[in-house]
């Protein structure tokens, strides 16, 4: 039996979907804790602080602490602190991301020509003017950083565009790929998660509903990967994917089967 000390657990599509809790999610988190596994709840959503997830999961009987939450926004802020400390940033994103970067010491500029770094993320008010200004920032020589690659995100029973859609739109008009895309499955996200948990990859589970982010992150860091089919991944996508999870479960409520293996 493998010995796990930590688990990187996705939120949307794994524990909840929109405003609805997924069956067995609370029991699964309790099972992890009772077997000595510390969970880290990792969301690629860059629009909310950790406290949001504490409240959101508490509504579905999942009790967590803010220190147990990691998001693509936090990974992005840590990356920028290491690589672009104190620089001017032009943000295509929402209020929380802007405020987070300001608190971390960055000057968030409205003038694209003043930007040292363009940070692109989900923006539900994204329009032609914003696309134009992002293009100008890159034309002026700014580095190009994306918070996460999720082209779509699950909301209730449907999908809506995510950060990846915005990033791809900007990349398309600028004719260049981002210098870095943070969040899952980036190496930066993997290092941040393992550091938060203080575990080795061999002692870590990665549990989520996406092959291209959750399972790919686990493969990248060398952890044991668990795909749950309660989110966006279809059977056909799983069969055709080059990313192969170690375990496939109908839902996270079956996590005990992985721990007992």
Domain assignment present for 52: no
Which residues touch 152 (CB under 8 Å, ≥6 apart)? Answer: 159, 160, 161, 162, 164, 165, 232
Q: What does the H/E/C string look like for 44-65?
A: CCCCCCHHHHHHHHHCCCCCCC
Domain assignment present for 55: no
More confident residue, 72 or 18: 72
Closest CA to 119 of 81, 154, 152: 81
192 and 214 assigned to the same domain: yes
CA–CA–CA angle 85, 88, 90 (5° rounding): 120
| Residue 97 belongs to domain spanning | 73-181
Q: Which of 181, 214, 239 is the C-terminal boundary of a domain?
A: 181
* Torsion from C-alpha of 63, 202, 199, 151, nearest 10 degrees: -60
200 and 241 assigned to the same domain: yes
Token pair in block for residue 114: 């003043």
**Percent of the chain scoring above 90 in pLDDT:** 89
pLDDT of residue 159 exceeding 70 = yes
Domain assignment present for 20: yes
Please count the CA atoms within 13 angstroms of the CA of 217 that sit on its side-chain side. Answer: 34
Domain assignment present for 59: no
Full-prediction pTM beyond 0.85?
yes
Q: Which of 181, 215, 239 is the C-terminal boundary of a domain?
A: 181
Per-residue pLDDT of 28-67, as tens digits, reads 999 999 999 999 999 999 999 999 999 999 999 999 999 9
Banded pLDDT at 90 (limits 50, 70, 90): very high
31 and 101 assigned to the same domain: no
Burial (Cβ within 10 Å: 0-12, 13-18, ≥19) of residue 211 = buried
Partners of 73 in beta bridges? none
CATH number at residue 228: 3.40.50.1000
Count: domains in the chain: 2
Domain assignment present for 57: no
Q: Which of 158, 181, 204 is the C-terminal boundary of a domain?
A: 181
Structure confidence at residue 1 (pLDDT): 58
36 and 90 assigned to the same domain: no
Domain assignment present for 129: yes
Which 8-state DSSP code applies to residue 67? G
Distance CA 44, CA 58 (A): 19
């Amino acid at each position: 039996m493998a010995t796990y000390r930590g688990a990187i657990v996705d939120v949307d599509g794994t524990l909840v979907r929109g405003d609805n809790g997924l069956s067995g999610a609370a029991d699964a988190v309790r099972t992890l804790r009772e077997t000595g596994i510390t969970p880290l709840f990792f969301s690629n959503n860059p629009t909310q602080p950790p406290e949001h997830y504490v409240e959101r999961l508490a509504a579905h009987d999942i009790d967590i602490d803010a220190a147990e939450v990691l998001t693509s926004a936090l990974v992005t802020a840590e990356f920028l602190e290491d690589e672009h400390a104190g620089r001017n940033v032009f943000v295509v994103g929402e209020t929380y991301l802007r405020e987070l970067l300001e608190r971390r010491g960055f000057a968030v500029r409205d003038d694209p020509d003043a930007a040292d770094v363009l940070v692109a993320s989900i923006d539900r008010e994204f329009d032609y003017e914003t696309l134009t200004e992002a293009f100008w920032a890159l034309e002026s020589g700014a580095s190009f950083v994306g918070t996460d690659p999720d082209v779509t995100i699950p909301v209730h029973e449907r999908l809506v565009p995510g950060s990846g859609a915005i990033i791809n739109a900007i990349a398309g008009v600028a004719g260049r790929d981002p210098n870095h895309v943070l969040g899952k499955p980036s190496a930066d996200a993997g290092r941040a998660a393992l550091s938060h948990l203080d575990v080795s990859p061999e002692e870590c589970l990665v549990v989520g509903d996406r092959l291209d982010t959750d399972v790919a992150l686990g493969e990248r860091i060398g952890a044991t990967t668990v795909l749950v089919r309660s989110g966006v991944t279809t059977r056909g996508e799983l069969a055709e994917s080059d990313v192969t999870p170690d375990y496939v479960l109908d839902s996270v409520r079956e996590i005990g089967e992985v721990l007992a293996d």
